Amino acid sequence: MKSNSISSLRFGTVGFASVLILSVLASVPAFAELKIGLVLERSGKDDKSFNASAYQGVKRAEKELGVTTKTVEAPDNSAYESLQRAFAEKKFDLIIAVGFHQLEAVKKNAARFPDQKFLLVDEDAKAPNVRSVMFEEHEGSYLVGALAALHAKGGKIGFIGGMDVPLIRRFEMGYVAGAKKINPKAEVFSNYLGVTGEAWNNPPKAKELALDQYTRGAEVIFVAAGNSGLGVFDAAAEKQKLAIGVDSNQNWIKPGFILSSMLKRVDESVFDSIKMFKDGKFTTGLIRYGVKSKGVDYALDENNAKLVTAADKKTLEELRADIIKGKIKVPDYYLVQKRK
Amino acid sequence: MSAIEFRGVSKRFGNFYANRNLSFQVKTGTIHGLIGENGAGKSTAMKALFGIYPLDEGEILVQGKPAKIRNPVHAMKFGIGMVHQHFMLAGTETVLDNIILGHEPGWIWIKRDQALSELKKISTLYGLHFEKWDHPVSSLSVGEQQRVEILKLLYQRSDVLILDEPTAVLTPQEVKELFQNLKKLKDEGKTIILISHKLKEVLEFTDAITVMRRGESVGTKVTAETNEDELAQMMVGRPVSFTYQGERKMFANASDMKPVVRIRDLSVESSTEPVKKVSFELRPGEILGVAGVQGNGQSELLRYLTDPKKFTKSAQGEYFFQGQDASHLGPLEIRAKGMGLVPEDRLSEGLLLQQDMTENFLLGQHQDSRYQKNGLLLRKKATEAVNAKIKEFDIRPPFTTVWSGRMSGGNQQKLVIARALDSNPSVLYVAHPTRGVDVGAIEKIHDAIVQERNRGKAILLFSSELDELMDLCDRMLVFFNGEIRSEYKRSEFDTWSIGRVMGGGDR
Amino acid sequence: MKSVMNASLKSFLKSAAGALLGFFIGLIICKLAGESPIKVLKVLYQSSFGTGYDFGMTLFYTAPLILTGLAVAIPFKAGLFNIGAEGQLTIGALAAAWAGVLGAHLQSPAIAIGFAFILSFLAGGVWGAIPGYLKAKRGSHEVITTIMLNFIAAGATAYFTLYSIKDPDSSQAETIPIPPVFHLKPFQIFNGAPMGELILVLIGIVLLLHFILWNSVWGYELKAIGENERAAETYGISKQKVWLSSMFVAGGIAGLVGVVEVLGNAHRFKIGFSADYGFVGIAVALVARGNILGILPSAFLFGILQKGAGSLDLETDKVTRDLSYIIQGLIILGVASEGIWDSLKLIRRKKNA
């Protein structure tokens, strides 16, 4: 990496020289590569979920768009600000901050570096130089909730959340609403794995909870719990029941037992933003990815082709159309919370 | 033929020679005494022989051949076994399992029957009568446990048996029995090395004696050709007296004086050894001895006397201190009323081994208004006081900054006693003041105790050394099984009578 | 006194040598990973001293470690192993946020900040005193109870955060922000890093505790129980009192991490804000060898490494944040394995013999 930009701030002459070199480089289009800095959450690029998805988006951009990227994983929740700041001081063109934990840091740095462009995923920074991307998880959850109810003849389904935080409550609320739309008498069991970060990484406990819900009669369980979801899939296979995955397409993990996955296309949003930036079409402000743009969606592939029938698909697409038209108002936990 | 021979053996710790050019021979089939003051290097020499310490110089010969013994297990292969001062037995396991531990017959399952029949053969052969094979070791008396240790060595086919201070924990009767047994072993061809600082028993039971001083051998004597005076002189390098020679002030009216401590019908429940209905009075100007084999309630009595508050639920009876009910007081409160304490075991109960003399001196006095003000310690004053004590008691090394753990046993004990006397208490509870202490320090300590008595202090003296009690006390209580079995006046003192009572017999 | 100073100096030097050794091995690993050790050193230096902001951030990481290092070292002097600093600081941080709710009407910064200080200390202290009490009364082992209480603290604070004083305008798991009167002002030269006079207060706390432990009757009793429980009891020192008080003080000091985080940085309580400060505090105390003054350099060292973890990831191609943790681990090993020197000497002597 060209690490001289930090020291250039302190040593005038060297700084001047490097500014000269940089401007020379910038004036030659052939060599002007876009530099993208990606700051991931503590869980890092191997979390098989949210951060992994963002990382894939960036890597895809690197390959297809020919941009230079650098990824850092924050060692703790206080490091976001200094990592973003370091990218800004190194004059990266676009800084991508993934995860709602980075909200405060992006706000501060956006104010400190008004000419720097940021992309914040999963929160709204409300700053003129930040593109904020949020996902309407409740809409996607609504669809898989309806799908779950279609496959629960006894009317009993389950939800297993990771850490008990508002975001996951949002999943749950949409899911329940979707199920009730199909079957107003549907009964939804709900469990959360815990209140610490460990909740995202505890498959054994998730399995126990899932087994319990299946025993109580649940036929489909939607799990939004990061890595812990693997335990639920195990339980589904063991009990010959169904589960629904989350964030990325997890249908392949236990084919035949995973009804679908509630997709949250972080990779798409990241890739799209980089592409827009390259094409000079980058816009700031809040962008919501809902069922309309398919930023949230249910997953269909060869692994669940036999499970999801044509009739199912038809019902879901009707629901999607109604949401887009505004005929269906999916309850949003964030708004419900605020009203309280 | 020598079973063991040391040839110019040296063992250094840093610059300090624990053994220096040590040479002596132990003849096969004899009982060989190894004596010397504390810190003379006896234990170091035996640990070197047992393979615990590597030698710095010289060599050790076993049966005439040079032997490089690497560790205790290796030592056993040379036929060398050791009974440590603190027994190495697992209390909850049976006698049999303790003995065969490490040498279990059988490959997957232990053949206990085979071991037992072999052990029975051994015990008959050597005349070591024993039957409680299936009892847990913790249920045995100290003497029996020692016999288990010896049987264990025989089972391991040891030819050379090292016994470290074997008589410290025994009654006179048990001591006699032990030496009868050792003699039988000797007659069967075993070699026995006896580490001791009790000249009397060494003289009585050994064939030859090696005297050590400052890590070196002063000489080896045939027992029959030497005597107590000569050995003692060799040990300390100067003549020593064994009976207290100082002035003993007479208190003709001692029995009429008002007691400072009065105990009536005191019972203390305890998981170890309860105290049962004990009554006695302690008067100014007397040393009242408490005799008994370890584990007959004396420890519990002492613990109660210094900290009755801890026993409010488990003790019954009266405890008056200076005429006031003391049964609800804690250690600091009793101390404030005039109690000084020399605890049973200075290492575990008396000292902070990784602290210097000043810190140790403050222990128990840290709330005394002389050494603290508004919750802050007055260390300078304490250090001044320690310096005075160093002079008064000849404590060495004479620096207040020395860690107590780096001092010799005798000097540690002097520090403990100096601390106990610092507040000028009217009552002293003193336990085993000379245990593990060298001859020179013993004199000094005995002198201090008698001086305090002569000044009119009331002293309760606990000791397992009958000689010491007989030497110092004005009266003596003999404990057995948690009770006071008998009380002796000074004029009635008699080793054999007291020994019988200590063992549970009649006067 | 002189020899005591010498002894602690010697112990400090030994510790420093061990730390250096661990660090050196860490650099060798960098080399093996294909990264120049010189570069790694440069990055670590730049990341902690490069700019005022960097230095401020390093101090920001150091501050909680000073407190948790103390929270481990003090009970350790009394023979207790406090694994519960993480829970104690979590409770303390929630209390600091709560102070903002309770003291919303306060006008004077001094009173507001003092109030938050006291509340954090008391909350952490009570949380720390629980295992002290359980040990004193029931004999429960403090290692087990403090670990359990860490979980309970996480659960309890999450509950209060989500259901009692949650920020209704936030979609995150965090409490309502504290009023500006509670905010601690950072130093200007730190250029945005959230650290100000507080660091001087913390250094003052270390010096004060050093003085108290060495000179007070309480400190004496603490050390006596820690060194030889039986002897201390024989001479009238109550271990129950010592356990309870030392754990209360330790918990209270850990609780002050809440002041660093809530008043100084986030201005609210966020679930999961701690970078495992409570556990790194164990390492801080270990490297300081229980020496109270040694906590300062030790915490600073770990602060540098924590700050450097992200920078290494950012500035080098091969080395990730994990290397920083490896170096942390190696430093702890280097310090802890001081005994190895002695055994090496012994082996050499044996060979010569």
Question: Which of the two residues, A121 and B505, has the higher pLDDT score?
Answer: A121
For residue C270, list its beta bridge partners.
C174
Residues A80 and A158 in one domain: no
Q: What is the 3-state secondary structure (H, E, C) of B302-338?
A: HHHHHCHHHHCCCEEEEEEECCEECCCCCHHHHHHCC
Q: Is the ipTM of this complex over 0.95?
A: no
Separation of alpha carbons C187 and C192, rounded Å: 8
Tell me which residue has tokens 């950012």. Answer: C314
Separation of alpha carbons B21 and B12, rounded Å: 11
* Probe site for chain C from B57, B366, B369 (most C CB atoms < 10 A): B366
CATH number of the domain at B88, please. Answer: 3.40.50.300
- Taking CA atoms, what residue in C is nearest to B10? C353
* Residues contacting B486, CB < 8 A, separation 6+: B477, B478, B498, B501, B507
Both tokens assigned to A62: 């690197």
In degrees, rounded to 5, the angle at the alpha carbon of residue B6 between the alpha carbons of residues B1 and B8 is: 135
Query: By residue range, what is the domain housing residue B129?
Result: 2-236
CB pairs under 8 A between A and C: 108
* Burial of residue A328, with CB atoms counted within 10 A of its CB: 0-12 exposed, 13-18 middle, 19 or more buried: middle
B373 pLDDT more than 60: yes
Question: Measured between CB atoms, does B68 come within 8 Å of chain C?
Answer: no
B496 pLDDT more than 70: yes
Domain count, chain B: 1
Q: Is there a domain that residue B81 lies in? A: yes
Domain count, chain A: 2
Contact C227 B356 (CB under 8 A): no
Among the ranges given (A184-188, A293-297, A313-317, B316-320), the one the predictor scored with the smallest mean pLDDT: A293-297
- Which pLDDT band holds residue A19 (cuts at 50, 70, 90)? very low
A3 pLDDT more than 50: no
Residues A80 and A55 in one domain: yes
Distances in Å between the Cα of A76 and the Cα atoms of A80, B400, B417, C285, C307 are 8, 49, 57, 21, 9
* Residues contacting C131, CB < 8 A, separation 6+: C82, C84, C140, C142, C145, C146, C149, C247
Among the ranges given (A18-27, B314-323, C124-133), the one the predictor scored with the smallest mean pLDDT: A18-27
**For residues A206, A209, A210 and A216, what is the CA-based torsion angle, rounded to 10 degrees?**
180
Residues A170 and A233 in one domain: yes
Q: How far apart are the first and last CA of chain B?
A: 47
Q: Is there a domain that residue C302 lies in? A: no
Q: Is there a domain that residue B36 lies in? A: yes
Residues A279 and A177 in one domain: no
pLDDT tens-digit readout, A243-294: 999 988 889 999 999 999 999 999 999 999 999 999 999 999 999 999 888 8
Residue C338, pLDDT score = 67
A abuts B (3+ Cβ pairs < 8 Å): no
Q: Is there a domain that residue A329 lies in? A: yes
Separation of alpha carbons B278 and A180, rounded Å: 82
Residues A160 and A239 in one domain: yes
Q: Is there a domain that residue A165 lies in? A: yes
- Spell out which residues of chain C touch residue A38, defining contact as CB-CB under 8 Å: none
Contact B379 C236 (CB under 8 A): no
What does the mean pLDDT of chain B come to? 87
Distances in Å between the Cα of C306 and the Cα atoms of A87, C34, C159, C301, C321 are 18, 22, 29, 9, 9
Q: Which of C155, C315, C324 sits opposite A1 (nearest CB)?
A: C315
Residues A73 and A122 in one domain: yes
- Taking CA atoms, what residue in A is nearest to C54? A82
Contact C216 B377 (CB under 8 A): yes
8 A C-beta contact, residue C302 and residue C283: yes
Residue A105, pLDDT score = 94
Distances in Å between the Cα of B276 and the Cα atoms of B348, B383, C114, C278 are 26, 43, 59, 51
Separation of alpha carbons A37 and A7, rounded Å: 19
- Spell out which residues of chain A touch residue C155, defining contact as CB-CB under 8 Å: 194-196
- Taking CA atoms, what residue in A is nearest to C161? A165
B20 pLDDT more than 90: no
- For helices B409-422 and B379-393, angle between their N-to-C axes, nearest 10 degrees: 120
> Quick one: what percent of chain C has pLDDT higher than 90?
65
Question: Measured between CB atoms, does C310 come within 8 Å of chain A?
Answer: yes
Both tokens assigned to A34: 């876009």
Q: Is there a domain that residue A174 lies in? A: yes
What does the mean pLDDT of chain A come to? 87
Radius of gyration for chain A, computed over Cα atoms and rounded to the nearest angstrom: 22
Q: Is there a domain that residue C198 lies in? A: yes
Domain count, chain C: 1
Please give the average per-residue pLDDT across A9-15, as a whole number: 40
B211 pLDDT more than 60: yes
Both tokens assigned to C209: 């505790």
Please give the average per-residue pLDDT across A108-121, as a whole number: 95
- Which pLDDT band holds residue B237 (cuts at 50, 70, 90)? low
Please give the average per-residue pLDDT across A219-242, as a whole number: 93
B377 pLDDT more than 50: yes
Stretch (H or E) spanning A93: none
Pairing of strands A68-73, A130-135: unpaired
Among the ranges given (A234-248, A305-319, C15-29), the one the predictor scored with the smallest mean pLDDT: C15-29
Residues A82 and A183 in one domain: no
Please give the average per-residue pLDDT across A57-74, as a whole number: 93
Strand, helix or coil for residue B369: coil
Q: Is there a domain that residue A1 lies in? A: no
Query: By residue range, what is the domain housing residue A258?
Result: 137-263+309-339
For residue A262, list its beta bridge partners.
A246, A298
Q: Is there a domain that residue A21 lies in? A: no
Both tokens assigned to B98: 């303790």
- Which pLDDT band holds residue B238 (cuts at 50, 70, 90)? low
Q: Is there a domain that residue B17 lies in? A: yes
CB pairs under 8 A between B and C: 81
Contact A6 C50 (CB under 8 A): yes
Residue B72, pLDDT score = 85
Q: Is there a domain that residue C18 lies in? A: no
Query: By residue range, what is the domain housing residue C104?
Result: 74-277
Q: Is there a domain that residue C15 lies in? A: no
**For chain C, what is the total number of helices (H) and then of strands (E)?**
15, 0
Q: Where are the alpha helices (DSSP H) in A90-202?
A: 103-112, 137-150, 166-182
> Quick one: what percent of chain B has pLDDT higher than 70?
94
pLDDT tens-digit readout, C29-76: 888 888 888 998 999 999 999 999 999 999 999 999 999 999 999 999
Q: Is there a domain that residue B77 lies in? A: yes
**Dihedral sign, Cα of residue B388, residue B394, residue B397, residue B402:** negative
Q: Is there a domain that residue B23 lies in? A: yes
pLDDT, tens digit only, all 353 positions of chain C = 444 556 667 777 777 888 888 888 988 988 888 888 899 899 999 999 999 999 999 999 999 999 999 999 999 999 999 999 999 999 999 999 999 999 999 999 999 999 999 999 999 999 999 999 999 989 899 999 999 999 999 989 988 988 888 888 777 788 999 999 999 999 999 998 999 999 999 999 999 999 999 999 999 999 999 999 999 999 999 999 999 999 999 999 999 999 999 999 999 999 889 989 999 999 999 888 878 999 999 999 999 999 998 888 888 887 878 777 888 888 888 887 765 555 565 556 555 54
Residues A279 and A250 in one domain: no
Residues A231 and A189 in one domain: yes
Subunit partners of chain B (3 or more CB pairs within 8 A): C
Separation of alpha carbons B281 and C139, rounded Å: 37
Residues A73 and A128 in one domain: yes
B36 pLDDT more than 90: no
Q: Which of C57, C172, C321 sits opposite A82 (nearest CB)?
A: C57
Tell me which residue has tokens 């659960």. Answer: C155
In angstroms, the separation between the Cα of residue C156 and the nearest Cα of chain B is 37
Both tokens assigned to B287: 């040393």
8 A C-beta contact, residue B54 and residue C351: no
Kindly list the residues of chain A whose beta carbon comes within 8 Å of any beta carbon in chain C. 1, 3, 6-7, 9-10, 70, 72-79, 81-83, 85-87, 100-101, 103-104, 108, 112, 123, 163-167, 170, 194-197, 334, 337-338, 340
Dump the DSSP string for A248-304: S--TTTSTTTEEEEEEE-HHHHHHHHHHHHHTT----EEEEE-TTTTSEEE--STTT
8 A C-beta contact, residue C192 and residue C186: yes
Residues A94 and A185 in one domain: no
Q: Is there a domain that residue C331 lies in? A: no
Question: Measured between CB atoms, does C270 come within 8 Å of chain A?
Answer: yes
Both tokens assigned to A240: 């010959």
Subunit partners of chain A (3 or more CB pairs within 8 A): C
Please give the average per-residue pLDDT across B313-341, as a whole number: 94
Q: Is there a domain that residue A26 lies in? A: no
Identity of residue C107 = Q
Residues A271 and A335 in one domain: no
CATH number of the domain at A207, please. Answer: 3.40.50.2300
Residue C7, pLDDT score = 63
8 A C-beta contact, residue A100 and residue A88: no
Pairing of strands B315-321, B324-325: antiparallel
A48 pLDDT more than 80: no
